[in-house]
Structure 1
Amino acid sequence: MRNRETRVRGIAARAGGWSARHRWAAVGIWVLFVVLATGLGSAAGRVDVKDSDQMGGETHTAARIVEEAGIDEPASESVLVQAKSGDLKATDAEFRAAVDAVVTAVEGTGKVTGVTSPYDAKTISKDGRSALVQFDMRGEADTAGERVEPVLKAVEGVQEEHGSLRIEEIGGASMMKTFDDAFGDDFKKAEYSAVPVALGILLVAFGALVAALVPVALAITAIIATMGLMGLVSHFQPMSETANSVMLLVGLAVGVDYCLFYLRREREERAAGRDAQTALRIAAATSGREIVVSGVTVCVAMAGMLFTGIAEFEAMGLASLMVVAVAMVGSVTVLPALLSLLGERVEKGRVPFLRRRRPSGSASEGSRFWTAVLKRVLAKPLLAAVVAVGALLAVAAPALGMKTQNLTLDQEFGDSLPIVQTYNRVNEAFPGGSDPAEVVVRADDINAPEVRAALADFRERAISSGASRGPVDVTTHDEQNVALVYVPLVGGSDQDKAGESLDKLRDEVRPATLGKVDGVEAPITGQVAGNKDFNDQLVGSVLPVFAFVVVFAFL
């Protein structure tokens, strides 16, 4: 009769019961799975998301054209030379001497190429107080931040010699270095500190070292296995460093959380006087089921990100889905085996000054507060449902007005970094110069007369339409039949105004110029364009994502 009372049903209960009876087999299978996943993932290697797949719309098309053409765009840098007072102008001898000194200094580092004087490129502000010396970093753009320091020091040296002028460098490489110096280690610190913090919390919760180590160990092995699986899956759905970091933090959170459910219920049942095997079976039937339901629900929610059409979101969603699934499986299989093996030894390593908490009544006795809440909810379920739904809608309402975009430098860091002030000065003197729109023009023959005439017309109309104040620069790659047109947008760091300028380029200037030439593609990309394309993609994916999650979560 007693066997019938303790018999449990359900996948989680059967898995937990089998693991408790075949303890070493369950542990061995888990270890083998982790080793195989890690080994196969390492052998397969990981494929990361390409730049051309990061966004949708014209941004995607432009990146794909550049990628197919094999064009490696260098990291561009600019040195702002600006008079501190209104008396000094770019035409004055002192100003010219400073510009010449900058040109000589950066060329002397051997780290740059294509140094252009503002007097040749006409990069002088309307008020005549500011000028830009422009150049490109040698080598790959992705690693330019590692090579820019000699150039920055050379510019600082020129600044020391010309106190009446501001001489400051800004660009992709210098921003990369500044970001890495200021915040580069923060993400790694967050990842490394997550395990000690989780362990500390569990020590307080359980008061025993072994009981605290079990959830952490299981979470870490789930993360290691998922990293291997990510390598395999990346050949079908490319991954990214961001997805890797999100997976690590999500995996640690759910891995510890699921184990905490199981372990706490098992301890409560043993504290209530039940033998170890019965306590495990009850934990498997109750907490194990909760873990499966919770895990499947989270997996469905993460799977919804696969419908966004944004590669970064798809990578994060799939990585999170996998680590939650692995942690869920581990919690209902290998965890019961470990608890069965440890028995009372799970209480080893008692922490002084932390008393072991024992329930004063039955194992099912809960918090007085939540018991009182539950009684009132059950007494008036309709009213409780209305209040709950109303509260959720009130909390969710601000999401309807949510504005998403890639943050500009000043929005992301405020005034905490000196380079932000340089960024603002450049935008004030040359609106849009820090984040120009980039028109990627591909033609059958980029040097054909009609194409060259359309490019010239585009440059003129970009300024005459009010979308840009110039200068509009064109870089032609003859072998690839591609031209890159850089258009500083009126509005600068003001994303709304810059967005209006972008619309003029896309909807008015381009159709009247490049759009009239057969066989010419001219997608417009850049930070402002990326924001627009990202938002359009995000808004378009809300309905399918929402529908998928709601439908499958309730199946």
Structure 2
Amino acid sequence: MTVRVARWSATHPWRAIGLWLMLVVVAVGLMVAIPTQKTKAEDTWIGQSGTASELIRDAGLEGKPSETVLVTDAGQKLDKVAATAAFAQLRQKMTAIDAVASVGQPVWSGDGKAALLPISLKGNEDDAADNIDKLLAATAEVQKSNPELTIEQAGGASLDKGIWKQVGDDLARAEKISLPLTFGLMLLAFGALIAAGIPVLLAFSAVGAALGFYAPLSYAFPDGGSVANVVLLIGMAVGVDYSLFYLKREREERRRGHGTVDAVEIAAATSGHSVVVSGFAVIVSMAGLYVAQDPVFSSMATATIVVVAVAVLGSLTVLPALLVKLGHRVDRPRVPLLWRLNRRIGPGGISRRILAPVLRFPKVALVISTVAVVALAVPALGMKTEPGGLSTLPQSIPEVKTMTALQKSFPSQGMPFDIVAQGKDAAAGLVKLQDAAVASKEFVPGGEVRQAGDTAVLTLVSVRPDTSEDARLALDKLRDELAPQTLGSTRWAVGGETAQSADYGQHQRDQLPYVIAFVLILTLVMMAFTFRSLAIALVTTLLNLASVAACFGVLSLVFQHTWAEGLLDFTSPGFVVSWIPVFLFVILVGLSMDYHVFVLGRIREGVRDGLSPQEAVRKGITESAGVVTSAAAVMVSVFAVFASLGMIEMKQMGVGLAVAVLVDATLVRIVMLPSIMVLLGRKAWWPNKLSAARPARSDDRELVTV
């Protein structure tokens, strides 16, 4: 199939190029015409907190969205006269905004250093998000009129706006850095401008097309907030890799004397086949995110599947057309120094020197590399996962800094929990619960008991700091002690944003084993079917686990301790954000298959040519090493860019992916894989008898059988 597609594109290049451009234009048009849907609050309801939210909604007892304006005076005791005047200005401006339902009375902190003004908004959270700019503008105007005071605003809507602005800035920064960086690495790999530009151009067009096609799909799989980041991250990595595999093989065949069309067909039969298998492996791995039964993961999986499919399609269709139209001009204009350096090193020049002792002493190489991977993986045994929260957000976001200061000065603005009870004595039970909670000195009231019919709701605020560990302790106190003791047989549930975050993190931990089992079993079956070898399938699974274990170990070392804070510009939360391990696992299994399938394909070519197992490994590794190294360099560099971003989730994702790909492309693929293949010999291909196959010639069109 890959040869037939490549042949059609090669013989009808302008049609293939035109169809690709039309595909991209249509996709971008979809993105402009169809607004991408976002997840709603109820989409993420889960566990006991989800039950609480549902009961509150059904009873019509949802709290109205609110914002708070904090007034301080540079750490000194607040001037009440100046603050009172500022509050009067705020009240005047806020009440003039249609979205504001009411403005409360100022509340002063116990130490007199701060005061707050509560503002209640009309409608729901979506309405608050639509009107938050007006409130922020009003606060900014009052701040400008009172320069001697510090006047800041915080709340659910303003905090979300600040976070999304940070995400947008991070994404823009990643785009600005990753594109020229990727082009520079391609220039090092090819030594020619056109050859370097083609993979980057195709990858970028695949990212744009994927975001367009995802827009209508978002109605079934709404964006949880990370789709654009993930599409850029994965799209640039796999898009460049697939084009790189194909382009390198086509250049190699041209150097052997084949014409451009013949070289394209041979590349389609070999590298094109590997691209299809690799792309399918990534898609299968990403499908594991659906097992997690989480709308955010489902959106990531859908978007990633789309961008991988588009990248595969582009490498099989428009890339052959471009290569045929460009012909030998693909290696123009040359960068003299880089071109000579590439020619002097030759394919696999560096890896051949590394591989020689591995092939000579495979047992020793396997033991040493295994010890190194285990050493990296050991810290993963102590990896702690918690949901992200205020403590994991960058303090560079003004609203995060304001919210932190607000909770410090006013404990009643801390972590809220909504306790909902249903029954004839629901309200009386909640009053008892409030008394017990206040008596424990761990909670303060967050308002009066609200009741509608037989359902009542009480809000309690924890006096603990807003951290994941303290949130879990406060939640356990309510669910395991206070609520059972005071509410008895009354139906009850503890919810609220803090409880939802804790339940979400626990759900991710519970689903991780199922995701791992799903991905490993499917990839094992796929590799066994592709290579007709049980041994290859088992080796693939073990090597994938080795890369993932090393990744988790490094994550634990970096983010659960403080030694890397200055290096990566973050404050250690002491844990890994709960969704990161699940996401990294499926991504890493898929991406590691890129190199694995490509390298094994070259080794199998040598075995089919009648080479000995050791010689086939040597030939396959050295001939593919240049491509693998270049592809890994692209992935590591793109992922490292994300490690420099502000959001700690992006940092953890970038560090984890960069380390895993680096370990996978060096220790795993150049040391562990060849040593295992040499030790297994022909048994590696059992029950497939490759040695019985007719030796193939380098110019044999029957390479399509590979």
Counterpart residue number, 1:285: 269
Matching residue of 2:103: 115
**Counterpart code for 1:396:** A
Asked if structure 2 preserves the Cα contact closer than 8 Å seen for 1:208 and 1:351, the reply is yes
Q: 1:50 to 1:512 in 2, by over 3 A?
A: same
Instruction: Kindly indicate whether residue 492 of structure 2 is the aligned counterpart of residue 505 of structure 1.
Output: no
Partners of 1:46 and 1:231 within 8 A in 2: yes
Per residue, is there more helix in 1 or in 2? 2
Question: CA 1:431–1:50 in 2, change beyond 3 Å: closer, same or farther?
Answer: same
Distance 1:201 1:155, change over 3 A: same
Which residue of 1 is the match for residue 593 of structure 2? none
The 3 A distance-change label for structure 1 pair 442 and 79 is same
Map 1:27-38 to 2 at 5 A. Answer: 27=17, 29-31=19-21, 33-34=23-24
Structure 1 contact 155–168 (Cα < 8 Å) conserved: no
Q: CA deviation at 1:264?
A: 2.1
Amino acid at match of 1:307: V
- CA shift, 1:45, in A, is 5.6
Amino acid at match of 1:190: A
CA distance in 1, matches of 2:208, 2:112: 59
Identity of matched residues, %: 36
CA distance in 1, matches of 2:390, 2:146: 23
Q: Could you say which residue in structure 1 is the equivalent of 2:354? A: 373
Q: Does 1:387 align with 2:358?
A: no
Q: Determine the C-alpha separation between the residues in 2 that align with 1:158 and 1:295.
A: 58
1:353-372 alignment to 2 at 5 Å?
A: 354-355=338-339, 359=343, 366-372=347-353
Aligned residue number for residue 260 of structure 1? 244
2:517 corresponding residue in structure 1: 547
Task: Name the CA shift for 1:84/1:217 in 2 (closer, same or farther; >3 Å).
Answer: closer
1:172 alignment counterpart = 156
Q: Which residue of structure 1 lines up, in the alignment, with residue 440 of structure 2?
A: 465
Secondary structure (helix, strand or coil) at the match of 2:414 reads coil
> What residue in structure 1 maps to residue 299 of structure 2?
315
- The partner residue of 1:249 within 233, 240, 256 is 233
* Cα deviation code 1:392-446 (max 9, x no counterpart): 33323333333333444454334x566666544433343462332234x3758xx
**Offset of 1:21 from its aligned partner?**
3.9
Alignment of 1:194-273 (within 5 A): 194-273=178-257
| Counterpart contact for 1:442–1:522, Cα < 8 Å | yes
Deviation at 1:179, TM superposition (A): 5.1
Q: 1:489 to 1:197 in 2, by over 3 A?
A: same
Contact conserved, 2:430 with 2:457, CA < 8 A, in 1?
A: no
Q: Deviations over 1:68-91 (max 9, x none)?
A: 6775842321425689568x9xxx
Amino acid at match of 2:296: E
> Match of 2:271, SS?
helix
Contact 2:64 / 2:122 at 8 angstroms: preserved in 1?
no
Is the aligned partner of 1:156 residue 2:156? no
CA distance in 2, matches of 1:188, 1:475: 46
Which secondary structure does the structure 2 equivalent of 1:554 belong to?
A: helix
**Distance in 1 separating the partners of 2:113 and 2:223:** 47
The 8 Å contact of residues 437 and 524 in structure 1, kept in 2 or not, is answered as yes
- Which of 526, 535, 548 pairs up with 2:497? 526
Contact 2:448 2:458 in 1 (8 A): yes
Task: Give me the TM-score of the superposition, normalised by structure 2.
Answer: 0.64
Aligned partner letter, 1:458: L
CA distance in 1: counterparts of 2:323 and 2:203, whole angstroms: 15
Q: TM-score, normalised by structure 1?
A: 0.79
Q: Distance in 2 between matches of 1:385 and 1:141?
A: 59
Q: Please tell me whether the aligned partners of residues 154 and 402 of structure 2 are also in contact (alpha carbons under 8 angstroms).
A: yes
State the match for 1:56 in structure 2.
46
* Map of 1:428 onto structure 2: 408
In the other structure, the counterpart of 1:537 is: 507
The answer to whether 1:412 aligns with 2:418 is no
Bigger-Rg structure (1/2): 1
1:104 is matched with which residue: 88, 95, 117?
A: 88
How big is the shift at 1:312? 1.2
Match for residue 66 of structure 2?
75
Q: Deviations over 1:435-482 (max 9, x none)?
A: 32234x3758xxxx73332332232222123430x132147485x987
Tell me by how many angstroms 1:134 deviates.
Answer: 2.0
Q: What is the CA deviation profile of residues 73-128 of structure 1, one whole-angstrom value per residue up to 9, with x for unaligned ones?
A: 42321425689568x9xxxxx74x56643542321113444333356xxx754x67
Consecutive unaligned residues of structure 2, counting only runs of 5 or more, are: 526-706
Q: Deviations over 1:141-167 (max 9, x none)?
A: 224541233442365368656x7xx76
The CA distance in 2 between the partners of 1:21 and 1:68, in whole Å, is 63
Q: Match of 1:48, SS?
A: coil
Q: Is the CA contact 2:64–2:121 (under 8 Å) kept in the aligned structure 1?
A: no
Give the match for residue 437 of structure 1. 417
Cα distance change of structure 1 residues 26 and 425 upon mapping to structure 2, 3 Å threshold: closer
**Residues 66 and 118, structure 2, Cα contact 8 Å, conserved in 1:** no
Change in CA separation of 1:536 and 1:409 when aligned onto 2, cut-off 3 Å: closer
Structure 1's 368 and 34: CA in aligned 2 closer, same or farther, altered over 3 A?
closer
| Partner residue in 1 for 2:533 | none
1:225-267 deviation per Cα after TM superposition (whole angstroms, max 9, x unaligned): 3234323433433334411331133112211221122112212
How large is the Cα RMSD of the aligned pairs? 3.8
Output aligned runs, 1:340-359, within 5 Å.
340-351=324-335, 354-355=338-339, 359=343
Alignment partner, residue 146 of structure 1: 133
